[in-house]
Structure 1
Amino acid sequence: MTDHQEEQEMEAEALAAIFDDQFSIVQGDSSKPLVWNVTLWPEATTTDGENHVGIELQVTLPETYPEDALPSCDIHILKGLTQDHATQLLDLCQEEAQANEGVPSIFAICERLREWLVDHNQKGHDDVSMHAQMLRRNAEQEKKQQEQSKQQQFESQKAHADMTQTERDDLELRRKRAEGTPVTNETFEAWKIQFEQEMAALKEQQDKDDEAAAGNKKKSTPKVNEKKGRLSGFQQFSGAAINLEALEAAAENAQTDPEEEEEEEEGALQEELFDVDDEDLDDLDFDDDDDDDDEEDVDI
């Protein structure tokens, strides 16, 4: 007996102990490949009326199984399923066999198939009508969504467990910010007290700033008064312009022609000669006789 045959016999004994009469050896001749059958129901201990689906798994073991070869599987429908379901179950068998390559894998394959039967233990899977197929597709889609949600939740919990304490605290803080704080009488009073304290502190600081600003303003007042006594740039420029005009006028007077000065002096003398007051004219006495003589001469 080879090592492969010994391992196959030990696996057959284990399966018979687990599945009892649901396990059977179809071909046990060592000169030929071994063939085993395992009957699978969703619930092995319940009555047949509670199992709406059922299958029979038939495995053919190559001579070098399990170290160097994989088992060959076939599915026979016993209840409530269609050939499409049988194809799906064969795919599961292949996946599980490859996952356990090199070790006995028949029990693992049976458990994977039984889990599928438990999930699909409903009436009507063998109904091939369009309506029934649509209902089955919807149910399968909903189930996939639930599985994805569970997987995401599991990954989230795993990621949370792998985070450091600081990262968890930060995540919790973000969650609380997103949810907000419910407003109650107690929370409102606590917020009000804190708010009033903050406002009082701000007012006190503002008063201090105002006092400091007022003190700085008083200190800077003498400088402002000193600046008031100074001329602005415009005033200095205006004064310089006035002085410039006076200097120009003086320069013009200094450049007056000497002949013009002599004429002005002669004119002044002539004005003095003819400047006779009215009183001087009154002192002059003209005789009336002379006037009469003049009139007679005119008559002649």
Structure 2
Amino acid sequence: MTDYAEERQMELEALESIYPDEYQPISDNEFKISIYPDENENDKQYGVLLHVKYTPTYPDELPEFDIEDLEGTLSDDLHTKLIEELRLVAEESLGMAMVFTMASLLKDQLNEIVMSAQRILQQEVEERRRKAEELENAKFHGTKVTLERFIDWKKKFDKEVAAKDELERQARAKELKNKLTGRQLFESDKTLALSDAKFMEDGDVSVDVTLYDKAERSAMVDDEDQDNDENAVWKRLQDED
């Protein structure tokens, strides 16, 4: 006949020896063991409590057990997953002391959880760094030019240049239209032909240039220019004497 009380007592003594600081007795048949992942044994930033209560025929039947948060918080899904894995390993150990096996499995699972969290954190850090580098590089490289973007830009540029050229052409045409030459002004305003009469001396002959055609008026202007040139030469010779 199995002496369950004796087997339980032997296991409790072994657990106190293995976990001198982590073992927390509640009664002769109930206790808690603090479990931390290897990465956090020193600072104990994350950990759980394995809460165990022996049943009357333990180890021939499973003990009552649960997982309590000690440091950090387990999600509901993760808590359920760990409980199920502990149940499976305990069932494989029926008939033998099984708490140490359960505690070891829980520690391994916590190690994996911590490593996974660290990997995720590292990935997030690297992703933020990558995005920051992309933003910084974008300041120097600008937008990547593709053939489609270049064609769109070229069309827009040509349209802007054509519009600018048209405005300049219209401005020049308007300026030329409003700016008459001396001859055009003289021919278009007949009063100018008569205005010089005020400055004529006695004996000067008034000529009505409007009586001449365009060719004759042009010849008259050329003769006048030649006379002015000769007068200028004569005046310069007198000054030299």
The TM-score normalised by the length of structure 2 is 0.45
Higher relative contact order (CA 8 A, sep 6+): 2
The structure with the largest alpha-carbon Rg is: 1
TM-score (norm 1): 0.36
